[in-house]
Amino acid sequence: MPLNIVLIEPEIPNNTGNIGRLALASGSNLHLVKPFGFEINDKRLKRAGLDYWPHISLFIYENIADFYAKHKDKNLVYFSSHGKKDHWSIDFENDMFLVFGKESVGLPETITQSNSDKLYKIPLYSPHIRSLNLANAVSIAVYEGLKHL
């Protein structure tokens, strides 16, 4: 029944720690796809997740191919500022995978191009901002999903 949060090559330990905390609070699973921009035992990662980190339902993959080999038949949706559809139009389902890219460049172009029908954006209402912080974007998507479920 839980949602699955997927971070492709996360770079900032504080974001990943906060998202881990969110995963636990929301009953979601957290999937991390290497390479990371930090060590998994980074104290900033643990500090952002407080003492919750040992309780998180965590899955780690060596690379994108490893992740897809295990989850190719799952219901995946992707988040990108390049999405044409708003996240409000997602037909959320139990066990859905919400896939996010790294902080600096988002999802790889190969993923956005081959999954354009499942690519969603969170609307931004100011021309002065390019994107949201990754942890904030994940929070918005997860709680929108929980509302629908």
Tally of domains within the chain: 1
Instruction: Name the nearest CA neighbour of 99 among 87, 91, 110, 107.
Output: 107
Q: Is 122 annotated as a binding residue?
A: yes
pTM: 0.94
Q: What is the C-alpha to C-alpha distance for residues 127 and 44, in angstroms, rounded to an integer?
A: 32
Q: What is the C-alpha to C-alpha distance for residues 71 and 47, in angstroms, rounded to an integer?
A: 30
pLDDT tens by residue, 114-143: 999 999 999 999 999 888 999 999 999 999
**Structure tokens of 130?**
């390019």
Residue 22 is part of a domain; what is its CATH number?
Answer: 3.40.1280.10
Question: Domain residues for 75?
Answer: 4-148
Alpha helices by DSSP H, the chain: 13-26, 43-48, 64-71, 109-114, 134-148
SS3 94: coil
